[in-house]
Structure formats: structure tokens, C-alpha cells
Amino acid sequence: MAIYQLGRSVFGHPENAGNLMTIEEAHALLEDWVPNERLRLHMKQVAAVMKAWAIEKENADPKTALKWELAGLLHDADWEKFPDDHCRVIIEELERRQIDPDVIHCIASHGPKYFGVEPENSMDKMIYVFDEISSLIHAYSLMRPGGYDGMDVKGVKKRLKEKSFASNVSRDDINDAISRIDTPLEDIIQFIIDHQPSVQ
């Protein structure tokens, strides 16, 4: 994969803390920037598990949960139209819109070895955790007759070990992301299985 070093680690402005776009505005941006329905679905899935994790595991209030959801929804927003400037374009757009710097930093940190931005807080770490695993689990659902029905952790872990399966999913990134949190991989997989199927 290409390297998209951003060359900075500070994003947005502190005075914009608490400034968030609505989910409707974020979806409108995706409709404009991301024609690919599969890519849009990926971002919606990451957004859903981010929001669920914030509420269930971090006891987040609605505004904080919205921050998590927006970061998940927009993290790959520039991937399709601006592949050579991935992450840079969406960051600049969110800075132009004066969005909360926590959301922008989270997006910037979702691939540390690519963007050169380290995940600092729980929101940063969890988008890094969920991004690749969510994709692999969705790919696994597409090959199963019942989709997500009856999917279990053992089956997902078997696919993780098969490097030819969903080969674009970085196992190294998954291992690195999991090493940064206190939650076992098995629990993360189960959480995604529990929350991702309803996302359309």
C-alpha cells in the first residue's frame, strides 16, 4: 500500500472543540465524494461499530458518541476521488468546516504507518482496530450462505490466518492495532459480529 505521510500531528483548532456536523451532513458528503457503494458501506459499518463501542464500552454521552460515529463515517471519504492524497483531503475539508479537532485527529490516526500519526486516545485506537477487521468480517459474511447468521469468532480467526482471503486486509495492521488496546481480538471480533449485520 502507498504511504501518505501527512507531515503533521496537530489537526484543526482547539476553539472548534464541540463543533460537529450532523449525520445527515456527513452522509451528504459521502454521497458527493464516494460513488462506490461498497466503500460507502464500509464506512457506514465502521461508523456503526464505533458508535456502539462508544456507548456500550466508553459510556459516551450522545455528543461524544456522535464524534466517534463521524470519524468512522468519514475516515475513507477521500479514498475514491483523491487516491493520491488519501486522508489529506478529508482532513482539510473538515478543518475548513471548523470541525472538532478530535474527529480530525482520529481520522488522521486510522493508519499510523501510512499517515505518520499515532493513535493517542481510545477513539483513535478503536478506529484503527475496527477498520481492517470490519472489512474482513464483511468479506467473510459475503462468502457464507447465511451471511452473518451463525458466524462465530472461530470462523473469523480461521479466515484471518488465510492470507489469500481478503488479501487487501492488512494482518500486520490488525495485530498492531490490537496490541495497543486492552481488549482481546476475540472480543473485538464478537463485538463486530453483534453490531455490523444491521448496517445497510
Polymer length of the chain: 200
Q: Which domains does the chain have, with CATH numbers?
A: 14-195 (1.10.3210)
CA distance 44 to 166: 19
Chain segment 127-155, per-residue pLDDT in tens:
999 999 999 999 999 999 999 999 999 99
Residues 49, 58 contacting (CB under 8 angstroms):
no
Q: How confident is the model at residue 4, as a pLDDT? A: 76
Chain segment 53-62, per-residue pLDDT in tens:
999 999 999 9
Which of 184, 168, 100, 112 is closest to 136 using CA atoms?
A: 168
Residues 91, 7 contacting (CB under 8 angstroms):
no
Burial class (CB in 10 A: 0-12, 13-18, 19+), 176: middle
Q: How confident is the model at residue 7, as a pLDDT? A: 85
Q: What is the pTM of this model?
A: 0.95
Chain segment 70-106, per-residue pLDDT in tens:
999 999 999 999 988 999 999 999 999 999 999 999 9
DSSP letter at 3 equals -
pLDDT averaged over the chain? 95
